[in-house]
């Protein structure tokens, strides 16, 4: 209990701005996890998002190398990651639309090649570069600039979701029907992948490249057990993400363990618990009907 009081004291303590930044990052990220994660889950493109999230390590490695060697002074890992993420999204998106039978192979290739390029360039970068810092992230190191970027992307995603909600919903649940209605499903799909790619780059600061895919699916997956439509799933997914983020930050502080990993463990536990509960209720309902 003392540790919990200590956590709340740290939130209000001006000497610990990183704790407040971490909480704000968790809440801002929750909007992206809830909205984008719902689309990723319903469209069943978690594999695509996973490939993009790992491929960005290539952009990070190249940016670090170019900056350290003076070939492109001032280039940031964030810039390299965004370029690589959008490139990966474009390749995967085009292949998914034009050559469905080769989709899995290309996804795995992008995943492996992106990470390998990152490791190779990091190995050639002067000084020591630890790839694990980019693979696992640290929410306690998030800066005010990162918060501004997250807020900006939140606004863009909310506006796009509000403006194009009918098209997104139609494309997510019944793509053939959406095409018959004249909705440009291919462009909607590519736009979704691009927004997901950019979100992945910013969110890797929060939970890291390895874990971002879990938070893109677990809160939305949990919400899917209760929501009746995509809008409700987005809202509940955002709420669950916020609760998981707050719980993970508090537990990480109290137990002195990595916050990002704690967030995912809590999210995974709630998802599995919800799935088990739903299965048990369904089983009991069927037994009751059988006996009647």
171: nearest Cα among 180, 162, 163? 180
Rounded to an integer, what distance in angstroms lies between the CA atom of residue 71 and that of residue 84?
A: 18
Please tell me the predicted confidence (pLDDT) of residue 207: 66
Encode pLDDT of 75-124 as tens digits: 888 888 888 888 888 888 888 777 665 667 888 888 899 889 988 998 88
CA distances from 75 to 33, 63, 70 (A): 27, 6, 9
The list of the chain residues with pLDDT below 50 reads none
**Rg for the chain, CA atoms, rounded:** 20
Q: How many other CB atoms sit within 10 Å of the CB of residue 155?
A: 11
33: nearest Cα among 271, 252, 245, 248? 245
Rounded to an integer, what distance in angstroms lies between the CA atom of residue 171 and that of residue 191?
A: 12
Please tell me the predicted confidence (pLDDT) of residue 270: 96
Please tell me the predicted confidence (pLDDT) of residue 132: 66
Annotate the chain with three-state secondary structure. Answer: CHHHHHHHHHHHCCCCHHHHHHHHHHHHHHHHHHHHHHHHHHCCCHHHHHHHHHHHHHHHHHHHHHHHCCCCCCCCHHHHHHHHHHHHHHHHHHHHHHCHHHHHHHHHHHHHHHHHHHHHHHHHCCCCCCCHHHHHCCHHHCCHHHHHHHHHHHHHHHHHHHHCHHHHHHHHHCHHHHHHCCCCHHHHHHHHHHHHHHHHHHHHHHHCHHHHHHHHHHHHHHHHCCCCCHHHHHHHHHHHHHHHHHHHHHHHHHHCCCHHHHHHHHHHHHHHHHHHHHHHHHHHHHHHHHHC
Please tell me the predicted confidence (pLDDT) of residue 183: 78
Angle, in degrees to the nearest 10, between helices 185-207 and 165-173: 100
Domain containing 122 equals 2-291
Provide the CATH number for the domain around residue 276.
1.10.3470.10
| Cα atoms in the 13 Å half-sphere on the side-chain side of 238 | 14
Please tell me the predicted confidence (pLDDT) of residue 120: 92
Please tell me the predicted confidence (pLDDT) of residue 205: 62
Query: How many independent structural domains does the chain possess?
Result: 1
């Amino acid at each position: 209990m003392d540790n919990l009081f200590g956590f709340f004291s740290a939130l209000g303590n001006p000497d610990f701005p990183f704790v407040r930044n971490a909480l704000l990052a968790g809440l801002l990220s929750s909007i992206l996890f809830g909205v984008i994660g719902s689309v990723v889950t319903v469209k069943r493109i978690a594999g695509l998002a996973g490939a993009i999230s790992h491929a960005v390590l290539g952009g990070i490695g190249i940016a670090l190398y170019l900056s350290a060697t003076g070939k492109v002074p001032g280039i940031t890992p964030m810039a390299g990651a965004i370029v690589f993420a959008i490139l990966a999204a474009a390749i995967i998106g085009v292949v998914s639309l034009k050559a469905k039978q080769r989709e899995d192979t290309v996804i795995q290739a992008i995943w492996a090649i992106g990470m390998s390029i990152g490791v190779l360039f990091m190995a050639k970068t002067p000084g020591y570069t630890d790839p694990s810092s980019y693979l696992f992230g640290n929410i306690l190191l998030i800066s005010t600039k990162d918060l501004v970027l997250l807020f900006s992307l939140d606004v863009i995603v909310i506006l796009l979701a509000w403006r194009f909600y009918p098209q997104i919903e139609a494309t997510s649940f019944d793509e053939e029907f959406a095409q018959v209605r004249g909705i440009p499903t291919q462009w909607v799909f590519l736009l979704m992948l691009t927004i997901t790619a950019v979100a992945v780059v910013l969110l890797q600061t929060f939970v890291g490249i390895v874990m971002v895919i879990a938070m893109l699916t677990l809160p939305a997956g949990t919400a899917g057990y209760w929501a009746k439509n995509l809008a409700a799933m987005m809202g509940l997914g955002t709420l669950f993400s916020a609760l998981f983020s707050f719980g993970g930050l508090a537990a990480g502080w109290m137990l002195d363990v990595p916050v990002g990993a704690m967030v995912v463990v809590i999210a995974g536990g709630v998802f599995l618990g919800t799935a088990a509960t739903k299965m048990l209720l369904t089983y009991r309902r069927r037994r009751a009907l059988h006996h009647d």
